A and B are shown apart, each in its own frame.
Chain A
């Protein structure tokens, strides 16, 4: 067990955990931030996506010890993020979600995409969103919602 200082959504948090514990479980169980989801644990679904130092990252395969001083942004901070807020609003107005379980990860990936590529093409969308699984099959609406968000942010 070791103690780590993490900057999560702008706040410094201290956690004591086994250094190998994936960031996902530290967020969910130690910090009680359950918006970040567990789907596979092997970086195959994107449900656990957070921004680590600004980069969309699968938190299920990042040991907490490797986070170091990189800031962490989770879905819980998206309402206060200028891009995140637009994406969330569009997601709601276009009725994207079904079960919703994958959507934290989808939104985190979409926000990262729109920050790096404000006018994404279909190909950009497929590449950036390509690892985010949605078992309910909301892909058509996600694709559309990203385009709408890009327009609104434009």
Chain B
């Protein structure tokens, strides 16, 4: 980590604005915000400062930090304020974190829109929040120095107090007003690593208390005077339209206010508005709707797999072609492995069902919801309501998980909510997707078929690799396509394979992206979910064939510049050295994978209980660069591997028959419960001063290949079809 003012893309111009305003409760608020590129084009000193700010030093000593993105479990609501408070020398116990509403100043400094994704929260805002803290501190010190007629360098700050050279001291709260009138320093020095007091330390989450006593409000808990609840009857096949409906029985339910047809992003639906959830739910159950399912494609899982397998036999659009694509031909068939993998659709099913609350007042609207994509959702709502985005106030609500599901380029849930709210003008409407809507509603991790041919060299290492990936493109048709779909290859479909850190000389990866009538979406770690599974199970198979230690084999095959994975594997080797003597019928499985610039390696000890894998322990090593909050990183690793286990659950699949999703709720699509997760999960972080990288997604890809590699050692079988219905 660099200690001076650190690097930022040179094209990014930054200015700092300051705003002083009186607080509603009396006293003065100092608000500072950094001007990030999106508003850099505006006049240098805008007449009206945006009402947004990152940090308020309140007269009561509380320091309120605005978090520029959604908190949905990943811990950013603690980590970003930590970075700021550390540079500011603020008293951590006085820090209050708030989720910022949608606003230009809160755009992700790298992505240019306000969002959470790509494990970018810390990676992208690390610098930003440190700078904010350092500048605020400099101004508070300057204010104190001016008051005491000394130079700032004669002063120091600690725990929200500035100390002068002659025993003077002043609290930040007392200095805030004077500081607000000072110019914002252009150049500031960030702390040396050794001076950090919070960063890189195990700091507990700020939101635990409220989440343990029931007081934390999530989007679904929003309650407004006169609010109604809306449910929508969605088409049974994606994109189908309502032919007609009989709402008499639905309207007869007490509390039901309106039943009407609405356009959806795909097809049409019937909205039901009621006083209460239960009335709306009963009304929807009683609604008799007829749908035109004949004029839409009705996908069928079995048929899709057959089609995908067929496609996989022909090369697709080339993602990578390294050295000799025909090197395979010179390798004898006895030294080749041909492997065909199948992966189903997977739903995210975040714990808090999807929802959005909207009130439309004609010339403005107010929105409450947990969103990974505030900029996009706000624009979509504005469009539905015929407003400009600025006319839509978007409150970011705490969200109960998301895993990618709250980042929809088409904002389909928000559009539904806005459509209903438009009709109910003036009345706040909370639109809820029930768990059934969520499980059956699409936006899944796409199903895939991989067909891989590996030619093994005389040294037991892969000498040639031919790999065809078949699956829908997540990005096709979205605004992200121009950036991330190249030569007809969706980069999210091949990530983890095309950019593998293994050094395989003759390497050929291609992809087919059939268009299927099933909406698909990024599922925590996106393409790495299936690509890491293929790579890590095959590499393990190769190691076994070569009678090599799985860690040593990987280290040998990794390219020299795969520094993070090397660090992780070396650490894993040390931490699992004592795993040599295992109980009978237990086996160890290893996997490693780099994604989102973070390396993760994992060892699991597995046995088979009741015909299911039992994970007695997992040891996870991670190299995320500089570790901002080791406690959160450990949580993300433990949680991420558990999330990844969804892939190997016996009912970890969404399937379709004649266009209809066959699962309805968590009884049919079953994610991991406690007994499916590791009993013990130890996390070790590689010490590093490199710039921080993300931790939300990188643990997900390693666990299922590690488990399956252990199973293979127990049964001698290969597992290439998910979900793991049989062992």
Tell me if B672 is interfacial: C-beta within 8 Å of chain A. Answer: yes
Max chain B CB contacts within 10 Å: which of A30, A95, A103, A133?
Answer: A95
- Contact status A136-B213, CB under 8 Å: no
- Contact status A41-B635, CB under 8 Å: no
- Contact status B351-A137, CB under 8 Å: no
Chain A residues within 8 Å of B434, by CB: 41
- Contact status A136-B204, CB under 8 Å: no
Tell me if B243 is interfacial: C-beta within 8 Å of chain A. Answer: no
Q: How far is the CA of A132 from the CA of B673 in the complex (A)?
A: 7
- Contact status A95-B631, CB under 8 Å: yes
- Cβ 8 A contact of B351, one of A1, A20, A45, A125: A45
Tell me if A118 is interfacial: C-beta within 8 Å of chain B. Answer: no
Chain B residues within 8 Å of A29, by CB: 276-278
Tell me if A115 is interfacial: C-beta within 8 Å of chain B. Answer: no
**Contact flags (1/0) for A81-98 with B, using CB distance below 8 Å?**
000000010011101111
- Contact status A92-B643, CB under 8 Å: no
Chain A residues within 8 Å of B218, by CB: 37, 101
Chain A residues within 8 Å of B643, by CB: 135-137
Within the complex, the shortest CB–CB distance from A134 to chain B, in Å, comes to 7
Tell me if B391 is interfacial: C-beta within 8 Å of chain A. Answer: no
Within the complex, the shortest CB–CB distance from A104 to chain B, in Å, comes to 5
Of B21-29, B330-338, B396-404, B581-589, the one touching chain A: B396-404
Q: How far is the CA of A48 from the CA of B434 in the complex (A)?
A: 14
Max chain B CB contacts within 10 Å: which of A93, A100, A137?
Answer: A137
Within the complex, the shortest CB–CB distance from B635 to chain A, in Å, comes to 6
Tell me if A74 is interfacial: C-beta within 8 Å of chain B. Answer: yes
Max chain B CB contacts within 10 Å: which of A34, A107, A129, A136?
Answer: A136
What is the chain A residue whose CB lies nearest that of B432? A38
Tell me if B192 is interfacial: C-beta within 8 Å of chain A. Answer: no
- Contact status A99-B73, CB under 8 Å: yes
Chain A residues within 8 Å of B279, by CB: 18
What is the chain B residue whose CB lies nearest that of A39? B351
Of B2-10, B132-140, B675-683, the one touching chain A: B675-683
**Contact flags (1/0) for B339-372 with A, using CB distance below 8 Å?**
0000000000111110000000000000000000
Q: How far is the CA of A98 from the CA of B215 in the complex (A)?
A: 15
User: Given A95-B208, A130-B674, does the pair A137, B213 have CB atoms closer than 8 Å?
Assistant: no
Q: How far is the CA of A132 from the CA of B213 in the complex (A)?
A: 17
- Contact status A93-B211, CB under 8 Å: no
The secondary structure that dominates the B interface is loop
Tell me if B419 is interfacial: C-beta within 8 Å of chain A. Answer: no
Report how many residues on chain A are interfacial, defined by Cβ distance under 8 Å.
62
Chain B residues within 8 Å of A132, by CB: 673-674
**Contact flags (1/0) for A13-53 with B, using CB distance below 8 Å?**
00001101110010011101111111111101101000000
Within the complex, the shortest CB–CB distance from B605 to chain A, in Å, comes to 14
Tell me if B713 is interfacial: C-beta within 8 Å of chain A. Answer: no
Chain A residues within 8 Å of B672, by CB: 137, 139
- Contact status B681-A140, CB under 8 Å: yes
- Cβ 8 A contact of A101, one of B352, B667, B673, B680: B352
Tell me if B167 is interfacial: C-beta within 8 Å of chain A. Answer: no
- Cβ 8 A contact of A126, one of B211, B675, B678: B675
Tell me if B638 is interfacial: C-beta within 8 Å of chain A. Answer: yes
What total count of A-B pairs have CB within 8 Å?
187
Q: How far is the CA of A139 from the CA of B352 in the complex (A)?
A: 17
- Contact status B352-A37, CB under 8 Å: yes
User: Given A25-B277, A35-B214, does the pair A130, B675 have CB atoms closer than 8 Å?
Assistant: yes
Q: Which residues of A, 122-148, contact B by the 8 Å Cβ criterion?
A: 122, 125-126, 129-143
Tell me if A78 is interfacial: C-beta within 8 Å of chain B. Answer: yes
- Contact status B212-A97, CB under 8 Å: yes
The secondary structure that dominates the A interface is loop
User: Given A40-B665, A42-B666, A95-B204, does the pair A134, B212 have CB atoms closer than 8 Å?
Assistant: no
Chain B residues within 8 Å of A25, by CB: 276-278
Q: How far is the CA of A93 from the CA of B276 in the complex (A)?
A: 37
Tell me if B671 is interfacial: C-beta within 8 Å of chain A. Answer: yes
Max chain B CB contacts within 10 Å: which of A25, A41, A44, A100?
Answer: A100
Q: How far is the CA of A34 from the CA of B641 in the complex (A)?
A: 30
What is the chain B residue whose CB lies nearest that of A78? B213
Tell me if B428 is interfacial: C-beta within 8 Å of chain A. Answer: no
Tell me if A66 is interfacial: C-beta within 8 Å of chain B. Answer: no
What is the chain B residue whose CB lies nearest that of A34? B221
Chain B residues within 8 Å of A107, by CB: 212
What is the chain A residue whose CB lies nearest that of B353? A38
Within the complex, the shortest CB–CB distance from A59 to chain B, in Å, comes to 12
- Contact status A42-B205, CB under 8 Å: no
Chain B residues within 8 Å of A97, by CB: 205, 207-208, 211-212
Chain B residues within 8 Å of A133, by CB: 351, 666, 671, 673
- Cβ 8 A contact of B638, one of A99, A126, A141: A141
Q: How far is the CA of A49 from the CA of B110 in the complex (A)?
A: 42
Q: How far is the CA of A95 from the CA of B79 in the complex (A)?
A: 14
Q: How far is the CA of A74 from the CA of B218 in the complex (A)?
A: 17
- Contact status A135-B665, CB under 8 Å: no
What is the chain A residue whose CB lies nearest that of B207? A100
What is the chain B residue whose CB lies nearest that of A84? B213
Tell me if A153 is interfacial: C-beta within 8 Å of chain B. Answer: no
Max chain B CB contacts within 10 Å: which of A34, A79, A88?
Answer: A34
- Contact status A135-B214, CB under 8 Å: no
What is the chain A residue whose CB lies nearest that of B631? A95
- Contact status A100-B642, CB under 8 Å: no
What are 9 A-B interface contacts by the 8 Å CB criterion? A20-B278, A25-B276, A39-B435, A95-B205, A97-B207, A99-B73, A103-B211, A125-B674, A135-B403
Report which B residues bind A (CB closer than 8 A): 72-75, 204-205, 207-218, 220-221, 223, 254, 276-279, 282, 349-353, 398-403, 434-435, 631-632, 635, 638-643, 645, 665-667, 671-675, 677-681
Given A125-B674, A132-B673, 20 further pairs, Cβ under 8 A = A29-B276, A39-B435, A41-B665, A42-B665, A45-B666, A75-B213, A75-B214, A91-B212, A93-B204, A95-B631, A97-B205, A100-B398, A129-B674, A135-B349, A135-B351, A135-B403, A137-B643, A138-B639, A139-B673, A139-B674
